[in-house]
Amino acid sequence: MRGVNKVMIIGHLGAEPDVHQFANGNRVTNISVATSNQWTDANGQPKESTEWHKIKLFNRLGEVAAEYLNKGSKVYIEGSLRTRKWTDDNGLDRYITEIYASSMQMLGNSNRTETQKPEAVIPIPQKPWLPKPNVMPDGPIDDDIPF
């Protein structure tokens, strides 16, 4: 069986899209998207953690992102993870993991100013996982199994 390499994120752009053109005419648009997680610690204090995701959008998808997305835009991205390796000026191996986007959906208002805060994150209450109790029927089981 083959593995699955699929990423889905919803977040806000941290900077304007950055477009690069290759010698062959192809383009890539790089964006950085922040996703946040909120929780309450053991002392009842609210906590938040933010992850920054580097995303590459190629060809027409990148053109659309460059034209319509701005810093602060809310966006949904689907894609796959790719890790690149290179050697820096000191001869050290460096790695970066990026999302190579396969689809994008613009969410909310893209005309947000830099001073406006993103919409509030509303946590979805999650029920704790509890195993289902084993319930055996009261009478004999007739399942045609010979043992």
CATH number at residue 96: 2.40.50.140
Render pLDDT for 110-127 as a digit per residue (tens, 0 to 9): 454 444 444 433 333 444
Q: Is residue 113 part of a domain?
A: no
Return the closest-CA partner of residue 7 out of 41, 43, 33, 28.
Answer: 33
Total domain count for the chain?
1
Residue 25: predicted pLDDT = 86
Label residue 1 by pLDDT band (50, 70, 90): confident
Alpha helices in 51-137 (DSSP H): 59-68
Render pLDDT for 48-100 as a digit per residue (tens, 0 to 9): 999 999 999 999 999 999 999 999 999 999 999 999 999 999 999 999 999 99
Residues 116, 74: contact at Cβ < 8 Å? no
Render pLDDT for 22-50 as a digit per residue (tens, 0 to 9): 899 889 999 999 999 999 999 999 999 99
Residue ranges making up the domain that contains 34: 7-107
